[in-house]
Structure 1
Amino acid sequence: MADRAQDALLAALAAALSLCLPVLDSSAAGELGPVWVLLVLGACAPLALRRRLPLTAAAASAGVVSIGVVLGQPQAGVVVALAAIGSAAYHREDRWPVLALGSAIWMLFNIVLAYEPLQPLDLLAVPGTAVAPVALGYALRLQKSRAEQLARLREAQVRQVWAEERAQLARDVHDVVGHHLSAIRMQAVGSRKALAGTEADAVLTTIATLSAEALQEIRRLLDDSEKPPDLEALVARLPGRIDVRGALPADLPRDVRHCAYRVVQEALTNVTRHSSAEEAEVRIADDEEHLVITVDDQGHGVPGPAGRGLRGMRERVESLGGSFAAGPREPRGWRVRARIPTRGGAR
């Protein structure tokens, strides 16, 4: 809609300039009449379609100029028509040969009708005048395409560096933290044998179990190739009634899927820890460009004193270019909402 408004405004400005500038020339003022005005407006109007129908806009504008030549108004809208041809070459760069040839034939036709007797110098103006707007439009398009390619290349390089750094961090965390957790578990298991049957046996069993689970969780978090657990499994582990509407699309980029799962996990964890709510609702919507996650509850709406969970969710979502909001809802309860772009992520 914004592009259409801009093109309509451009057509209006082109018409205003085309009508006003010749009026300032006293030598040409007497030649300006209703027919000239209609021809100028007719040549400018197609500019409103220059992005949606670039070839049609160029042909229509050029056609109006040729009608003006037949009617004895060869100067009406010529510059605007050339601009429309250049714009068509920009938006349809694959058709530039056709546009260049068509522009040359159109210019030759106009010159033959407008100038009698025809001079050789008049014909020399055809190639440059006809091909220049096509060449300019095509060159600008190539420049933009190359800039976009460079931007994509830089983004790919950044992602590659990020992936390498993350892989190095994963190895470091696995080696250091994993080693200590394994040592804790081995110590706990060994101590259980020595203290079997005592009160410490149960405590050591818990330590061994938790350290094993923590080690498994760290390994899973550091493994990009493994997807996070299903939402159904997460919901099944949590107390209370949780209504899930929608599901994570199967073709989500990996980082988006991880982020979405962590948002739902943290939001539901806050419900069970810090809210008096016995029910919660999770809604997942996908509009092909964004994944929208909403978690509502009917509790007292306090996310916890430290707020680290909310801060972590916000950082995860915003790191992917998304938006995050959390706060009380009327008449009571708490709402967490995340909107995550689904394009451009790592699959």
Structure 2
Amino acid sequence: MPSKPLPTLRTERITDENALPDRVRKGRGAVSNRLSGRFDAPDRYDTTDGWDSEDHPDIERVQTILGIDAVRKIISYNESPDVGSSRSINPYKGCEHGCIYCFARPTHAYLDLSPGLDFETRIFRKPDAPERLREELSHPKYRPAPLALGINTDAYQPIERTEGLTRRLLEVLWEFRHPVHIVTKSALILRDLDILAPMAAANLFSATLSVTTLDRHIARMMEPRAATPAKRIETIRALSAAGIRVSVLAAPLIPGLTCHELENILKAGAEAGAIRGGYIPVRLPNEIKLLFEDWLRLNFPDRAERVLNRIRALRGGKLNDPNFKTRMTGTGLEADLLKQRYELAVRRYGLDTPRTPLDSTQFRGGDPQMRLF
């Protein structure tokens, strides 16, 4: 079926895959393109995901398709009281990690694409992002504040290996002495230690590693192209050894599937050098609840109903609670018990270090000539 090209994207027609029946695809999280849209793209890209030596070599592999997203501004602003940062940069739309629970999946629907397989196989890069960032930071009216890099989709997802947009953005931020925080589940962040370590020494950078489970088998099904759990813990160790303040985030915790691992995740992070801990129960907004249920019933049919019911117990009888404050913690007895376990664990493992704000006073904006002094 032909489609009208999206206004900000360079496109060509490709073969439609939506008619394929629901089934597991190698290296992908979603099992379908439920609520799918249409997409056109200029080129294709394939990369290793670190799981090639695993079982099931006969499972179909779906290739990644890479497109271009032309942007005029790269910094996004928000007023959400529970996000932790008022501004962010996302060099990519869509994410190859393929995490079935990813809260960003519905954003692909705005591109007339599916939040399912399209979200993790049809990725848009923003090649002019570093130039746009330089323009915005140079504006006389710009006022610095810590920003989050890759808060919607992971800034260190697999295509960053060849695109290098995140590194180029970090180079600009370091040049301007602008504070930045990164949340990732990728070991690729270690590639940029030559920039991140000096930034951290100047109190301009901190990091958080998201760890959902320590079970390699569950991780492979749930987030097939993210780093293995062990690799993420080793990344915490390497960041800490480089003098970077790093936190471990047990998120999302899925009742009946991974929530029993909360203490073990926090302990592993603390032993690797993390100084703070956090947790977030799983959120299933909009189309995600349909995709997650498909995935759950296909991969864990024996416990699917129990998991869904326990999520509803956390979310006021529904699969999602969009309200600020409660959306990050849940409500009810299940949420209260999870909070108590978390508070005990962070005290036990020393992950309650007071938060130190990143420094915005070193910012070198305005006249580019002044940054030479």
Q: TM-score range by the shorter chain?
A: under 0.3
Higher gyration radius (CA):
1
What is the TM-score normalised by the length of structure 1?
0.24
Greater RCO (Cα-Cα under 8 Å, separation 6 or more): 2
What is the TM-score normalised by the length of structure 2?
0.22
